[in-house]
Structure 1
Amino acid sequence: MRRRPMPFTEEQMKQVFDTNIIDFAVRHGFEVEKGDRNTVHVKHSGGLYLFRHGRGYYQFAGEKSGNIIQFAQEYLGAADFKSAVEMILGCRAYEQTEHYVQPVEKKPRGELILPPKDKDFNRTIAYLTRTRGIDSEIVYAMINQNKIYQAVTQKNGYTFRNCAFVGYDGEGKPRYCALRAPSSDRKFRQDVENSDKTYGFCMEGRSDRVYEFEAPIDAMSHATLCKLYGIDWREDHRVAEGCLSDKALSRYLKSHPEIREIVFCYDNDVDGKDANGQPRNHGQVQANQSAEAFAKAGYKIFIQTPQTKDFNEDLLTFREMSARSRDSPERAEAEEREAAYP
């Protein structure tokens, strides 16, 4: 009896596993953004990350990983191995001449359900004020506005506590929530499922100027630096995207027509590289692209680049240098002279 031939040739299977999963995901309607050194994050996915080398994915929420075939089955509705490979190749099994594109319907975003609040926010407050150096007045102001809290979740018998950063729509409804571990030793970060990043993390101001950031911690660090320099941190607006984008800023401007000046404060990715390994300062490339676009819309534009990697690192560096200055022998001697000769 003749054996039925394999549905795909060795060359085709090589082509499947040589297909970059990031390109494949984008081609099928997924939006990606900067993740960490090794991954990109899939927007609105509840913690789905694609590896930059293009050969797999990891889903934090379900603690699952896989290759491009499993990705097609899990996230694009491929019924089995054969249909997943067909989707990747663009042709049906046994018929290399027939073009095949699996129709993909993007699921509508469901309602955002915020994780439960913990009985206290001690760990989150300590992390933001002590580890990250953010002024306590600013942290408590955001807590009082329900934009920061300590989330607690249970999974597999374990309890997890994370910082939660929340963005709201004009009616005060939560539309975006990002979680991150309250520790410099843990790298956990995840957007809550059904988050809409076009709402972002916003710090309302009174002036006609808005500062634009990638992360909430950078926005609050910038506000802290202003306060340390004697500037009223509540005067200007601040918007944090939660990623490398300007969509939350666009939405914020629509509801704040008084704003005429935008200052882009994206990260200074001096060690960044593109997909081909070539140097690329992602944050400053985006800053220049966004600045050009909003200048055409009539806004007065500035770019404020961090001295270090980002504004939180700038803040920590400033605090460390201030502490050294206070502890130096020259400073102590000067204080003694001031005390002796008032």
Structure 2
Amino acid sequence: MNNRFTEEELDIAKSVDLCSVASFLGYTVKKIGKYYTLKEMDSIRIYNRTNWYRWSRQSEKGSNGGSQIDFLRVFAGMDVKEAVFWLLDFAGYKKTDDSERNNSLKHCVDKSSIDTEEKEFVLPKESDSFNYLYSYLQNKRMISRKCIDYFVSHKLIYESRDYHNIVFKGNDKNGATRFASMRGVFDKNGHAFKCDVKGNDKTYGFNVANDNSDELEVFEGAIDLLSYCDIYDDYETNKIALGMVADAPLETFLKEHPGIKFIRLCLDNDEPGRKASKALKDKYEKQGYEVSELPPPKDFKDYNDWIKAVKSKNIIPPKKCR
């Protein structure tokens, strides 16, 4: 499939059941009257199972509603191309003749069903070896073995048995895993499998906690968090990946770790990341924290883009400053 989509392919992508998409990504879908909402974000409204609106972000153009494509863009970090590919795969679309295609499509609104009951949170079983995890993070993401070893040895990441996904665990202050996200190691057609484990608590995020430190770095994605650790050789400060630009996991982490005084916002260099960073800086400064913005250099979208350049061009990163 090339980079351009036919009208028919776009129609199929926009016919995918958005409730099924949200459930697959790990959200708990609940029906309220004529619309659906998400247990983890009750400001979301899903109408006709195909479009959504977030009333709490009415003024934020581009992130307050839209189609299934917009949902994946905002909540799964995909660009438009990745989202359309993902939806076509999810629908079971293949370039066949019309009769075969119509019979094979799944997760479309007129055929789908969804279990809206609350799901039990069960982590995927571990693989006997973590070969795919190491290969992907070292070769595709340019993260050092030392860094990967740290997260594996602290049981914060592992490789799943059935699909060899990387599982990123979000633990509470007592070490119990309350959240987990998965990232595929086999990118397909330029896009990757990403989702949260069903039944997780989205007020938590992938994190590294150290109560001997009063500093906290905040990232959008787990791989950016690893990249930052590797770039700065920093395994001492607290760190958290939000998995998005909403700050519910950050609020929870700060409540559970009251010794935090300094927050560094290491969000992406794109427009949503910069906008969210400024809003979070204002919010948490008002709460008494010392907050600074520490995005990657302006030529790089995120910390993983930066570490690839650091490793491939032998760039010496600047010292971290408060």
Q: Please give the TM-score of this superposition, normalised by the length of structure 2.
A: 0.65
2 CA distance for matches of 1:131 and 1:39?
27
Q: 1:316 aligns with which of 308, 312, 318?
A: 308
Contact 1:199 1:252 in 2 (8 A): yes
The answer to whether the aligner puts 1:135 opposite 2:144 as a matched pair is yes
CA displacement at 1:59 relative to structure 2: 9.6
Q: 1:258 to 1:108 in 2, by over 3 A?
A: farther
Q: 1:168 aligns with which of 168, 171, 190?
A: 171
CA displacement at 1:130 relative to structure 2: 2.5
The structure whose RCO (Cα within 8 Å, separation 6+) is larger is 2
Contact 1:214 1:245 in 2 (8 A): no
2 CA distance for matches of 1:41 and 1:176?
19
The CA RMSD measured in Å over matched residues stands at 3.9
Q: 1:40 aligns with which of 71, 74, 79?
A: 71
How many residue pairs end up in the alignment? 244
2:172 alignment partner AA? D
Aligned twin of 1:241: 242
1:148 alignment partner AA? I
Q: 1:170 to 1:235 in 2, by over 3 A?
A: closer
Deviations, residues 207-262 of structure 1 (Å, cap 9, x unaligned): 211000011110010111102xxxxx122111011222211111111111111111
1 CA distance for matches of 2:282 and 2:110?
40
Contact 2:224 2:302 in 1 (8 A): yes
Q: 1:42 to 1:133 in 2, by over 3 A?
A: closer
- Kindly report which structure 2 residues correspond to 1:227-306, keeping only aligned pairs within 5 A, or say none: 227=233, 233-269=234-270, 281-306=271-296
1 CA distance for matches of 2:236 and 2:293?
19
Deviations, residues 49-71 of structure 1 (Å, cap 9, x unaligned): 9x89x99x9497886432xx549
1:216 alignment partner AA? A
2 CA distance for matches of 1:130 and 1:201?
22
Unaligned segments of structure 1, at least 5 residues: 1-16, 78-106, 154-159, 228-232, 270-280, 324-342
Aligned twin of 1:336: none
1 CA distance for matches of 2:279 and 2:164?
37
CA displacement at 1:42 relative to structure 2: 10
1:234 alignment partner AA? Y
1:241 alignment partner AA? L
1 CA distance for matches of 2:88 and 2:279?
31
Aligned twin of 1:88: none
Q: 1:241 to 1:61 in 2, by over 3 A?
A: farther
State, as a whole percentage, how many aligned pairs show the same letter. Answer: 24
CA displacement at 1:171 relative to structure 2: 3.2
1:134 alignment partner AA? I
Q: 1:167 to 1:60 in 2, by over 3 A?
A: farther
| Structure with bigger gyration radius | 1
- Kindly report which structure 2 residues correspond to 1:177-196, keeping only aligned pairs within 5 A, or say none: 177-185=180-188, 187-196=192-201
1:127 alignment partner AA? Y
SS of alignment partner, residue 65 of structure 1:
coil
Aligned twin of 1:202: 207
